C-alpha cells in the first residue's frame, strides 16, 4: 500500500494495483514524513508539531500522538528493531515495538535525515552542515563521523553497508 498526504485532505491509503485505488483514509494529517513499520502494521507520520502513529490493521485509527516538536524525517530499521524521528536539533531513537525512546542524539547545527543499516546495528544521521554522524546500537555510541564540506540533506545505507549522500551533494561519504 502507498500513503500520501496533503495539508487540506485526509491522508489517503492507496493500493499499489493498477490505478492506485484508495483503500482507506486517515484523519487530516499534514505529514512532513511517512514510514511504515517493517511489519506494515503501523504508519508513522511526522508532522510540523510532532508525530502520529496510525494502526494499519484497524482502518488507520490513531494509536499515539506526540506534540513535542516537528518531525522532519522518519527512519525505520529494516531489521524491525528501531525507529528514528528526526527533529531539527535532535534525533529520537525508539524501540519499534512500543516507540519508547532509548536515545536522544543532539546537534548544535541540526539534523536533516537518518537511515539505518540493513541489520539495524547502526544509524547514520545527516547533519545540516559538514558531517554525517554514525551511531551503533543498542547503546547508541558514536562512531567516527564522516566529515564533508557544506550542506548535507540526506543519507542512505546501501545494502552492503555503504552510505552515500545524494548525487547533488558536493562530497561522497562511506559508512564503515
Which tens digits make up the pLDDT trace of 115-155? 999 999 999 999 988 899 999 999 999 999 998 888 888 89
CB 4 within 8 A of CB 14: yes
Flag whether pLDDT at 161 surpasses 70. no
CB 39 within 8 A of CB 24: no
As a whole number of Å, the CA-based R_g of the chain is 16
CB 125 within 8 A of CB 98: no
pTM: 0.78
**Which H or E run includes 151?**
strand 146-151
> What DSSP designation does 79 have?
T
What does the block give as the cell for 63?
Answer: 494509536
pLDDT of residue 28: 64
What does the block give as the cell for 161?
Answer: 553497508
Flag whether pLDDT at 76 surpasses 50. yes
Please give the average per-residue pLDDT across 36-58, as a whole number. Answer: 91
pLDDT of residue 159: 72
pLDDT of residue 168: 43
Please give the average per-residue pLDDT across 59-85, as a whole number. Answer: 93
Task: Look at strands 2-3 and 146-151 and give their pairing.
Answer: unpaired
Q: What percent of the chain has pLDDT over 70?
A: 74
The model's confidence at residue 167, banded by pLDDT at 50, 70 and 90, is very low
Least Cα distance to 101 among 91, 109, 110, 116 occurs for 91
Q: Which residues contact 112 (CB under 8 A, 6 or more apart)?
A: 72, 73, 86, 126, 127, 128, 152, 153, 154
The model's confidence at residue 12, banded by pLDDT at 50, 70 and 90, is low
Choice between 31 and 53, residue whose per-residue pLDDT is larger: 53
Q: What percent of the chain has pLDDT over 90?
A: 55
pLDDT of residue 78: 93
Amino acid at each position: 500500500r502507498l500513503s500520501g498526504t496533503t495539508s487540506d485532505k485526509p491522508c489517503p491509503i492507496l493500493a499499489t494495483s493498477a490505478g492506485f485505488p484508495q483503500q482507506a483514509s486517515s484523519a487530516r494529517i499534514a505529514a512532513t514524513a511517512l514510514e511504515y513499520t517493517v511489519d506494515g502494521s503501523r504508519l508513522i507520520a511526522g508532522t510540523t508539531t510532532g508525530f502520529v502513529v496510525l494502526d494499519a490493521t484497524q482502518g488507520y485509527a490513531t494509536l499515539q500522538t506526540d506534540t513535542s516538536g516537528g518531525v522532519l524525517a522518519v527512519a525505520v530499521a529494516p531489521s524491525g528493531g528501531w525507529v528514528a524521528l528526526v527533529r531539527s536539533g535532535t534525533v529520537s531513537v525508539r524501540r519499534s515495538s512500543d516507540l519508547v525512546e532509548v536515545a536522544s542524539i543532539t546537534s548544535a547545527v541540526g539534523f536533516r535525515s537518518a537511515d539505518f543499516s540493513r541489520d539495524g546495528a547502526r544509524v547514520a544521521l545527516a547533519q545540516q552542515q559538514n558531517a554525517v554522524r554514525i551511531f551503533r546500537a543498542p547503546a547508541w555510541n558514536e562512531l567516527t563521523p564522516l566529515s564533508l564540506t557544506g550542506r548535507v540533506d540526506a543519507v542512505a545505507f546501501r545494502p552492503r553497508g555503504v552510505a552515500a549522500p545524494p548525487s547533488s551533494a558536493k562530497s561522497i561519504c562511506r559508512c564503515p
